[in-house]
Amino acid sequence: MMRYYSTQTLRGFDSYKYRALDTSPLSIYVMHPFWDRVVTLAPPWLAPNTLTFLGFILAASNFLITCYYDWYFYASSPTHPEVAPISKWVWLVMLVFHFGSHTLDGIDGKQAKRTKSSSPLGELFDHGVDSLSTVFMPVAIFSAFGRDHAHGGGTIEMHVITWCIFFTFALSHWEKYNTQELYLPWGYDLALLGIALVYLLSGSIGVHLWQRDVIPGYSVVSCLTIIVVFANFVLSFPVSLNNIYAKYSPVNQLKYGFLDGMAPLLSVALLALFSTSWLFFSQNNIAKMEPRLFLWHQGVLFSSHLCRVIIAQMTSTKVQLLNWMMYPYILMVSCLLFLPPQIVTSSLELNTLYIFSTLVTMAHLHFGICVVREIAESLNVSVFSIRKSRVS
């Protein structure tokens, strides 16, 4: 088995202690009391990582359901009546899957404490699959919003909403990398409940609801995009800066200097820059030709980098300045944008996206499987069993 981390690096997990701060009223007064009750239904022999993985499977299932019924996001679009709409019962099934995924994600840590099987592997496994769910969840609800209707719902809105979710997730772990404490964003549970509401209304009232204008020229989707952007760049980012600034003082210095402290955001920023450039300046409008894979490949690259940031934080090591996957990505996008049009044909650009998406997905899966095995071996714990787990 290929090894991604040295024994010395993995020993950093031995001294790791989980520190998180959750001040959201919704989490404190609603979600946690609910999860405290639900976790009592889980049998004591059930490993927390099994709950995490089951929640991940449910989130991935919603993504795959929309892949099957609505690959190009036209099923809910009034401008494409030739595409069969998704039945209301499908949205209700997706509601159940989404709620189940959210609940399992909420109780896995409580199950670990309840069974005294907590380990750093559990946190990494939880946050690692969450990093990939950041693309599963928004892409699934885009099928409810529809594409290319009069006011909003196009590839630009999809790109913006997806990146707002990426940005929020990255900020939380950037804070933790610099402050050694995870500040759980207030909007996390609120956003997941909002997605559940989208499924509920789509299955009960119908997807036509999302194309209605709230005000002339602005549909529900357009207003939602504006709200999400405002929440991220006006609320989330300043709060993150303040949390880090509070730690950065002569008395309480950050673990890393300014440049090293900014390192976790470099790959994210470059991914945002080059993916957005590809979206707007593609010679063949690649995002319109293949919107699902265009969003998917970004999600894989994002998850690949954030997993490495999480591991660096947990092992008290510096994160690699640039994720290796970004080098071929930057080269690929640059070539597709600057080579002559007679070379960059639509079939070439499309096939390049297909091949690159396949390769980075396989590379990320290999990384995830190998790293989980490495950490489990280093900590002498079992991934999906409590019997061999080290009691904390």
Q: What is the pLDDT of residue 257?
A: 67
Residues 120, 125, 128: CA angle, nearest 5 degrees: 120
Q: What is the pLDDT of residue 327?
A: 96
Catalytic residue numbers read 127
Smallest CA-to-CA distance from 158 within 172, 177, 171, 144 is with: 144
Which SS3 state, helix, strand or coil, does residue 87 take? coil
Query: What residues contact residue 91 under an 8 Å CB cut-off, 6+ apart?
Result: 144, 199, 200, 202, 203, 207
Smallest CA-to-CA distance from 383 within 13, 44, 53 is with: 53
* Rounded Cα–Cα distance for residues 78 and 256 (Å): 52
pLDDT tens profile 269-302: 999 999 999 999 999 999 999 999 999 999 999 9
How far is residue 58 from each of residues 94, 104, 162, 253, 303, measured CA to CA in Å?
A: 9, 10, 19, 42, 18
Q: What is the pLDDT of residue 79?
A: 80
Q: What is the pLDDT of residue 108?
A: 93
Contact 184, 22 (CB under 8 A): yes
213-227 burial, b at 16+ Cβ within 10 Å, e below that, comes to eeeeeebbbbebbee
Query: Residue with structure tokens 């790109």?
Result: 159
Residues 133, 380, 264: CA angle, nearest 5 degrees: 40
Taken in order of first residue, the domains within the chain and their CATH numbers are 7-379 (1.20.120.1760)
361-386 burial, b at 16+ Cβ within 10 Å, e below that, comes to beebeebbeebbebbbebbebbbeeb
Q: What is the pLDDT of residue 341?
A: 92
How far is residue 22 from each of residues 25, 26, 55, measured CA to CA in Å?
A: 9, 10, 21
Instruction: Write out the chain's pLDDT in tens, 392 residues.
Output: 678 999 999 999 988 888 887 878 888 999 999 999 999 999 999 999 999 999 999 999 999 999 999 999 998 887 888 889 999 999 999 999 999 999 999 999 999 999 988 889 999 999 999 999 999 998 999 899 888 655 556 788 889 889 988 988 998 898 888 888 888 877 788 889 989 999 999 999 998 888 787 777 777 777 887 887 777 777 667 777 777 777 665 444 455 666 778 889 999 999 999 999 999 999 999 999 999 999 999 999 999 999 999 999 999 888 888 999 999 999 999 999 999 999 999 999 999 999 999 999 999 999 999 999 999 999 989 888 886 444 33
Residues 70, 155, 239: CA angle, nearest 5 degrees: 115
Smallest CA-to-CA distance from 229 within 280, 149, 141, 157 is with: 157
Smallest CA-to-CA distance from 104 within 33, 166, 54, 44 is with: 54
How far is residue 385 from each of residues 49, 58, 61, 182, 392, measured CA to CA in Å?
A: 8, 20, 24, 27, 15
The DSSP code for 325 is: T
Q: What is the pLDDT of residue 153?
A: 61
Q: What is the pLDDT of residue 150?
A: 52
The DSSP code for 84 is: P
